[in-house]
Structure 1
Amino acid sequence: MKKVSIYTDGACSGNPGDGGWGAILIYGNHKKEVSGFEKDTTNNRMELMAAINALNMLKEPCEVDLYSDSAYLVNAFLLNWIEKWKKNGWKTSGKEDVKNVELWKELDRLSSIHKIKWIKVKGHSDNEYNNRCDKLATDEIKKNKK
């Protein structure tokens, strides 16, 4: 199984507001940067979209180290929130509908294809790839404001 590192970040100008996401996929000596934009969205949605879009680029099942500064994204898997949500019919422990449910379902599907290790990184610090993803995301917002 190929081993891939993925760095992701999402950003929003206003929350909700215009949003961008960025991701970097690293396989051996190869690096690929991808990014996207969405109107009237939230920061959390952009964090999830970054991971989804990056994982969807993988052409075969891979072993993935996925780095994100989003506790929302990483903890859903590390703390098994996603399994609890599925058991509860996609409801939170407070019986509320899980927000962004279609994105969580897609991440759950992707998690069944790839062996993903979810890794929380500190945002806006000294991680060059996280900082680059942040720039990709914020550049998408600027580019689309024109």
Structure 2
Amino acid sequence: MSLHIFAQGLPDPGAPARSVASRQFESLAELEALAGVTDRAAFWRRFFVYPEETRLVRGQGELERLVRERIRNGEVPPTETERERTLRALRQSARGFLEPSQPDVAPYPQVLDALASAADAARAAGASPTEIIDASEGLEH
């Protein structure tokens, strides 16, 4: 896996991340959040002694270890909850609306329908209004 490295040596938080414990991650930032990383620079600085490719592999390995440890300690549920799954679907729908493949064309009705149904599913799964707004990049439903 190849991730973009910023000038200060940190990987792009929006870069893809490997799945861990039957959870799929759209971005490295999601994996870092589940692992409990609060200071990205401090976390990744530990791996600066390695070449760029090794740094990313070792960093993701450490993130996976932290997630598995948090699951063992009961801080994170062992499987993805319905709420987490629906919020991720909402993020994907919002991204399809905000970053269309053809920017000069009006959004297709199915994109708007997918966004609305994803928001309804998240609401039904118990997501709070704030979580829904965050997942949908601030779009109103």
Which TM-score applies when normalising by structure 1? 0.27
The structure that has the greater radius of gyration is 2
More strand by share: 1
More helix by share: 2
Which TM-score applies when normalising by structure 2? 0.28
